[in-house]
Amino acid sequence: MGCCWAHALFFCSSVFLAITQSTAVDTFNSSQPIADGDTIVSAGDTFVLGFFSPRNSSTNRYLGIWYRNIPGQAVVWVANRDNPINGSTGLLTVNSQGNLALLSSLDEDGPSIWSSNSSRPARNPVAQLLDSGNLVVREAGDDDNFLWQSFDYPCDTLLPGMKLGLDRRTGFDRYLTSSKAADDPSSGGFTYRIDPRGYPEIIQREGSTERYRTGPWNGLRFSGTPYLRPNPIYMFQFVVSDQEIYYSYLLDNTSTVSRLVLNPNGVIQRLTWSGDTQGWVVYVTAQMDFCDRYALCGAYGRCNIRSSPVCNCLRGFEPKVPNEWELVNWSNGCVRQTALNCSGDGFVKYSGVKLPETRRSWFNVSMSLEECRGNCLRSCNCTAYANIDIRNGGSGCLLWFSELIDIRELEDSGQDIYIRMAASEIEATGDSETNSKSSTRKQVIVLSVVLSAGLLLICLALIFFLRHLRQKRQREMGGDPEDNARFSTNKDDLELPLFDIAAISVATNNFSLSNVVGEGGFGPVYKGVLKDGQEIAVKRLSKDSKQGLGEFKNEAKHIAKLQHRNLVKLLGCCIQEEEMILVYELMPNKSLDYFIFNENQSMLLDWPTRYQIINGIARGILYLHQDSRLRIIHRDLKAGNILLDFEMNPKISDFGLARSFSESDSKTNTRKVVGTYGYMSPEYAIDGIYSVKSDVFSFGVMVLEIVSGKRNRGFSHPDHQLNLLGHAWKLYQEGKYEEVIDNTVRNSCDLEQVFRSVNIALLCIQRSPEDRPNMSSVVLMLSCEGDLPQPKEPGFYGERDFVEVAKSSTNKYSADISITEIEAR
């Protein structure tokens, strides 16, 4: 009897061993699905793919990957984390198109509860579990070309070789999401992902609320992670390029087992397996202490864990709400004791700190610290500067253009930041980091007291020196004086600095194609850097351009005399060697259409930023129409002509088609209609009549595009043939205005602001110019909360409105105008 049991046991063991060996492979294909109970094992015996149940549930089944030889089933990836299978009937297949599909039953034709959704078809696909823990789908025989990989879809664990970050070319974002609990792999409330705005850094959030940030990368580590340093466990890198932004790491020794985990409580930890203790050891934790809580001390506050209380204001600042600070509530932060005055400011140096939040920052990797300081001084909105890279004495430039938030003092491995202060505050604190102008002024005062007899001589010498410097600069910028004189006689006193063509050529790398940042009706626009480090945008008239000297002079004439924070700044021009060039301040965030009409880029414009842009455009147009030296009708307002600065503030550009008008003019007409389809008002497009109300119409179109993320021209909807204007009008009449909102901001926007924006836009695009509000009323309506008028039917709200009206129009203002004379863009 015992012998029979022994034979039976041996038989069962042999069968089990045979089954195990038959499934212990690292690949499977369409003819070899993985059923619950089967597993595949990576070639190096490191990872296992199969079905599992967490400790708290015997019925919920998940498809996951875990370490093969580590007790406790440490799961590193789950396919169906938010959609478990009830029971052991799961089946994983790979179909002929190269898609993995997880089924809840053994019926291969049944519905899937999870799919890999590979975007590229395959002829002979196979799935393979690599020794890195990466589950990939590839063509049989092609080991390097992955059709899909699990590394692109991390859960709560970052394994060696994985990328945490953003592919800028596709908008694809890889980030960690915590599990709900240690024994519940479903998605929890915390995320850990790269924020690409300004200079990128990694942000940990609970829902939409920021809880922790790493600080910006400084060449060695993230500014707020002093523990991230060379070590015997792993190597790390942070990559910022035009193509992608990501953090990744590799293990120094492949026999070491280590992983980065975002745990259910939102703590980022590096765990390393210890063979001695047979357990996971916390090697390092990102959040070190109380001071790592995001913005704990508010704006211009600094946190020092060794102090009591931990929060204090920076020197020269005081609590914004003193009573709250006495109650240990620091959230409202600090304010300046002395306001900045721009021209006389200096800097106070702080060492050993975690740099403040960088989402509203600007950076240049090649600029020196002194050039960085100069750039900050030239911008009245710049609040601080620092090196980007602290290696080899420091390099690169990082500028802040907003309140400084989330600064903490570090015991070691912190870095330097230079914070802008009023000169009187610097003198009061005795800080040595002062503005060069302030230092010069002190020297002059001392010299005037001690050497009063020689003051006149010093002044005369200074005047001579400044005159010589000005003449030298004029030669560098203006080139041949004869060229300057020739332009002066033809430029109608444009009051513009003249640049030398050689200086512009050097700044743009000889007008290199790699420096092209845009293209307009005028010609290409190049990015450049002058000798003093100032970044510029160079607008060069193309030989093939339909525009010419008239448009060149028109833009120079109008914009040279305009100064407003929502208008792009013209720095000068050049007409040497048959070139016609306009030189502007560089807008680093390109144009508005680059963001709102791109599905991936639009995610970077949240609703508060969009509403800020709408308000900024309105104020800029109001300045043109009412407050500028020359009252201006722009005539080509569109999303492509709205540029965005460091802080995503809008600046109106491209004044080549602009016209000035007098106080007595209410409207005028033209025989040559120029502009952009989709933005032109009916009376202008059909009858050639333009007025300030033409710009108001264009503004209304832009508002609807900003809200919806859709272009007016080319808009389509399966239920009707209306354009975007008609679609918004239809939804407004049906009380469904919220359906026009861009999906990327739908869940986070202020519905009252959205409704007000849509209502104002519909008022601006009314068919009759007399019904449209002027821009002063628009600005007032955007800033107030009162009731708004009911809009009337829009103009051009059907796809064929323009052509049909043009054909049937009896033009009472200029009967000889025709549709073919319109120079639309």
Place of tokens 């479903």: 186
Query: Is the distance from CB of 192 to CB of 202 less than 8 angstroms?
Result: yes
Structure tokens at 198: 């300004």
User: How many Cα atoms within 13 Å fall on the side-chain side of residue 817?
Assistant: 23
What per-residue confidence (pLDDT) applies to 492? Answer: 45
Is 97 among the domain residues? yes
- Same domain for 203 and 312, yes or no, is no
> Which domain, by its residues, includes 467?
451-586
Say yes or no: 367 and 483 in one domain: no
Confidence of residue 545 (pLDDT cuts 50, 70, 90): low
Cβ atoms of 255 and 263 closer than 8 Å: no
Tokens of 55: 């400790």
Query: Domain boundary residue among 586, 616, 632?
Result: 586
Residue 171 maps to a domain: yes
How far, in Å, are 2, 225, 234, 529 from residue 218 at the CA level? 72, 11, 19, 23
Q: Is residue 16 part of a domain?
A: no
Residues 270 and 295 in one domain: no
Indicate whether 473 and 411 sit together in one domain. Answer: no
Active site (catalytic) residues: 636
DSSP state, residue 625 = I
pLDDT tens, residue by residue, 82-133: 999 999 999 999 987 889 999 998 777 778 899 998 767 778 899 999 999 9
What's the mean pLDDT when you consider all of the chain?
83
Domain tally, the chain: 5
Q: Which of 270, 78, 266, 239 is nearest to 166 (CA)?
A: 239
Please give the pLDDT value at position 804.
45
Sheet hosting strand 415-421, strand order edge to edge = 311-313, 301-303, 407-409, 346-354, 415-421, 384-386, 397-400, 361-364
pLDDT tens-digit series, residues 726-755: 999 999 999 998 899 998 888 778 899 999
813 and 689 share one domain: yes
pLDDT at residue 589, rounded to an integer? 85
pLDDT digits 0-9 by tens, 388-440:
999 999 999 999 999 999 999 998 788 999 999 998 888 765 554 444 444 44
Q: Answer yes or no: is 80 within a domain.
A: yes
736 and 763 inside one domain: yes
Lowest pLDDT segment from 246-260, 433-447, 632-646: 433-447
If asked whether residues 431 and 455 sit together in one domain, one would say no
- pLDDT greater at residue 754 or residue 808: 754
CA proximity to 199, closest of 214, 212, 217, 211 = 217
The residue whose two tokens read 């088609």 is 657
- Same domain flag for 361 and 408: yes
DSSP 3-state helix, strand, coil percentages of the chain (rounded to 5)? Answer: 30, 30, 45
Of 1-5, 342-346, 462-466, the range with the highest mean pLDDT is: 342-346
pLDDT greater than 80 at residue 809: no
Q: Which of 269, 288, 307 is the last residue of a domain?
A: 288
- Give me the pLDDT at residue 288, please: 85
Q: What would the mean pLDDT of 177-202 be, rounded to a whole number? A: 94
516 and 548 part of one domain: yes
Query: Would you say residue 18 lies in a domain?
Result: no
Average pLDDT of the residues in 766-778: 94
Provide mean pLDDT across the span 645-663.
Answer: 85
pLDDT at residue 667 in the model = 63
Q: pLDDT higher for 52 or 787? A: 52
In a domain, 708, yes or no: yes
The residue type at 678: G
433: its two tokens: 């980091």
Residue 297 has pLDDT above 60, yes or no: yes
If asked whether residues 279 and 337 sit together in one domain, one would say no
3-state secondary structure at position 787: coil
Domain contains 794: yes
- Can you tell me the distance from the alpha carbon of 52 to that of 54, in angstroms, rounded to the nearest whole number? 7
Supply 671's token pair: 């025989």
* Nearest of 640, 674, 678, 647 to residue 517 by alpha carbon: 640
**pLDDT of amino acid 268:** 96
